Chain A
Amino acid sequence: EVQLVESGGGLVQPGGSLRLSCAASGFTFSSYTMNWVRQAPGKGLEWVSSISATTSYIYYADSVKGRFTISRDNAKNSLYLQMNSLRAEDTALYYCARASIGDCFNYWGQGTLVTVSS
């Protein structure tokens, strides 16, 4: 069974940093593109970043480019999101999602909540 479990969320002040993690199991992690998608409270879905299986390509949404860094450790079956210079508008539930055929997402974690507030 595919499982994605996010961790690392919490309350952080504006300008602060957080590192999110996603532990994957139940599939060959090193074969799949992985993604972060976020959802602000009461709002829609926003794709944040993608990293290919061998890190040959990495993409970011304009809203996080230069502040967030996606990475992965295939030996540890883990996906990461380093978030720096956090802003109030980064407050959201952050989902880890596995890519299907192409860059749509057929498996999702339950999310980890990031709150940016003073």
Chain B
Amino acid sequence: DIQMTQSPSTLSASVGDRVTITCRASQSISSWLAWYRQKPGKAPNLLIYKASTLESGVPSRLSGSGSGTEFTLTINSLQPDDFANYYCQQYNSSPFTFGPGTTVDIK
């Protein structure tokens, strides 16, 4: 099974900051990597798929990059709506594992 890790586990930032979250896979997953945002009490929302393709309606200040085993999610000019939990997920092969999550909170 492919294991996913994320760093950092918690990130404290201010509105307007640029933040980066890293996701690593235990083996190559090509570009079969998705990013989700989840707010407390709500279902997750797909942000990015195929490592770098923005889902419809997602603001362009979010971006994804990477391939193989290392991936990043970058949020430019952090907005109040961005304080949330973020998860990566590999869908190269079953089981379609999620990373443990990164909490972006207000500094």
Give me the interface of A with B, judged by CB distance under 8 Å.
35, 44-47, 50, 59-62, 95, 100-106, 108-111
* Highest count of chain A CB atoms <10 Å: which of B36, B87, B94, B98: B94
* Highest count of chain A CB atoms <10 Å: which of B32, B89, B100: B89
B25: Cβ under 8 A from any A Cβ? no
We find that the number of chain B residues with CB closer than 8 angstroms to chain A is 23
Contacts of B100 in A (CB 8 A): 44
B46: Cβ under 8 A from any A Cβ? yes
In contact, A102 and B50 (Cβ under 8 angstroms): yes
Give bound CA distance, A101 to B46, whole Å: 12
In contact, A103 and B96 (Cβ under 8 angstroms): yes
Partner of A108, one of B43, B55, B95, B96: B43
Contacts of B98 in A (CB 8 A): 44-47
In contact, A47 and B87 (Cβ under 8 angstroms): no
